[in-house]
Amino acid sequence: MSLYDKRGVSAQKEEVHAATRNLDQGLFPNAFCKIYPDYLGGDDKWVNVMHADGAGTKSILAYLYWKETGDISVWKGIAQDAIVMNLDDLLCVGIYDDIIFNSTIDRNKRLIPGDVLEQVIQGSQELFDRLKTFAVNIHYLGGETADVGDVVRTVAVNGTMACRWPKDKIISNEKISAGDVIVGLASYGQSTYETVYNSGIGSNGLTSARHDALSKFYAEHYTESFDNSLSPEVVYIGKNKLTDPVPGTQHPSINIGQLILSPTRTYAPVMKELLQNHFDKIHGLIHCSGGGQTKCMKYLPAPFKVIKDNLFEAPEIFNILQKNSGSSNKEMYEVFNMGCRLEIYCKPADADIMIAAAKKFNIDAQVIGRVEAAEKKSLHIMLKEETLVY
């Protein structure tokens, strides 16, 4: 059993998928989000999409960092995490504008004061204002804040996005075919619309990241930050405190906490440009969120063999986590994005267009793999030292 399983979480969400298997899968079953007829407008040329997600357990890291350093602004990053985990999923079905957002914040009022809520709400509006400069318009329609200390140990920051969109401008992943290449967009670095270096961790696998990187100090001093029924062998098993400098980093001013709490990058400015100008060249889009580099397996329209043989070299945050946890490469690539969080499937001749659009915003991009015909679905990740097969 993996450390992830021992901590009561699942990279593949098998039980969730089993519980929802009988629900309507929408108009395009292979699309990254569920897409439904236009119930709001009644026009068969339009569709409705509603999507819910959040920052997950990353909010616990923000809580620890705030308590240890007093830096309350860290909560603005959690607001961005919750928004981007919705927005970038919508990007993967072709939606990039005129979106409405509603936030849901559940807190333990005894531990999370109003000042924290203010930072989350302000951080949300600041991100929307920044995206508006790229003509990505998201309308903030308020939300629900509930004091549920009996249910939530600290705070859960989530949100819902909805949109009405032209049906003929949906990316359904049905065009993915043998012979396509996969253009990967890096999750790390510093894009033109980010003010600091981004570690690339995003908002998935943070339960593992927290416990793998941080020391028993946090188990002893912040019992509210974890499930107390877990075995001590999986609780805060790392060597670091959040304020520790990052060993051997190229970014000496960044500490471990800032590295793990890097706000999830949105690819909205890049994808707006590509979807507006090169929609027909995009065969499929995958957001490497829950499930990491194996996420694509769920959305393939046929039993293809996907080969990823040119992934980015994993950035330092993932090396730190793996050294602390002793996790295998197979587990790491199944839990984390490992430096590549968005995949564009297209013809080989169109790859340079996708790469150039990303690099315009100082986001590294390259062809990371390809799609081949096969009798059953499989994924082959080729690393220098081994090949991982899923």
Contact of 157 with 206, CB cutoff 8 Å: no
Q: Is the pLDDT of residue 376 over 90?
A: yes
Contact of 381 with 387, CB cutoff 8 Å: yes
pLDDT, residue 194, reads 96
The mean pLDDT of 185-206, rounded to a whole number, is: 96
Phi, psi of 283 (to 5 degrees): -90, -30
Q: Per the domain annotation, does 216 fall within a domain?
A: no
| DSSP secondary structure string for all residues of 286-339 | EE--TTGGGGGGGT-SS-PEEEE--PPPPPHHHHHHHHHH---HHHHHHHS-TT
293: closest CA among 281, 268, 279, 310? 310
pLDDT, residue 203, reads 96
Question: What whole-number distance in Å separates Cα of residue 84 and Cα of residue 89?
Answer: 8
Tokens coding 28: 């395009």
pLDDT, residue 246, reads 86
* Residue the block writes with tokens 């709400």: 121
Q: Per the domain annotation, does 275 fall within a domain?
A: yes
Question: What whole-number distance in Å separates Cα of residue 363 and Cα of residue 188?
Answer: 8
Q: Per the domain annotation, does 204 fall within a domain?
A: no
Q: Per the domain annotation, does 246 fall within a domain?
A: no
Give tens-digit pLDDT for 260-312: 999 999 999 999 999 999 999 999 999 999 999 999 999 999 999 999 999 99
Give tens-digit pLDDT for 18-30: 666 767 789 999 9
pTM for the full predicted model: 0.93
pLDDT, residue 9, reads 67
pLDDT, residue 25, reads 81
Q: Per the domain annotation, does 226 fall within a domain?
A: no
CATH of the domain at 300: 3.30.1330.10
18: helix, strand or coil: helix
Binned at pLDDT 50, 70 and 90, residue 159 comes out as very high
Q: Give the orientation angle of helix 351-360 with respect to helix 268-277, to 10 degrees.
A: 140
The mean pLDDT of 117-127, rounded to a whole number, is: 97
Q: Per the domain annotation, does 47 fall within a domain?
A: yes
Question: What whole-number distance in Å separates Cα of residue 2 and Cα of residue 46?
Answer: 44
Tokens coding 346: 């297209």
pLDDT, residue 23, reads 74
Q: Per the domain annotation, does 290 fall within a domain?
A: yes
Q: Is the pLDDT of residue 236 over 70?
A: yes
79: closest CA among 108, 105, 49, 115? 105
Contact of 186 with 272, CB cutoff 8 Å: no
pLDDT, residue 12, reads 55
Split into its structural domains, the chain has a count of: 1
Quote the mean pLDDT of the chain.
94
Q: Is the pLDDT of residue 96 over 90?
A: yes
Give tens-digit pLDDT for 313-349: 999 999 999 998 899 999 999 999 999 999 999 999 9
pLDDT, residue 144, reads 95
Q: Give the orientation angle of helix 58-69 with respect to helix 206-213, to 10 degrees.
A: 40
Contact of 98 with 77, CB cutoff 8 Å: no
User: What residues make up the domain containing 85?
Assistant: 3-198+261-389
Tokens coding 282: 């995009």
Burial 3-40 (b: 16+ CB within 10 A, else e): bbeebebbbbeeeeeeeeeeeeebebebbbbbbeebee
Contact of 93 with 32, CB cutoff 8 Å: yes
pLDDT, residue 313, reads 96
Count CA atoms closer than 13 A to 26's CA, side-chain side.
Answer: 21
- In the chain, the percentage of residues whose pLDDT exceeds 90 is 90
Question: What whole-number distance in Å separates Cα of residue 1 and Cα of residue 20?
Answer: 25
Q: Per the domain annotation, does 288 fall within a domain?
A: yes
Burial 102-119 (b: 16+ CB within 10 A, else e): bbbbbbbeebbeeebbeb
- In the chain, the percentage of residues whose pLDDT exceeds 70 is 94
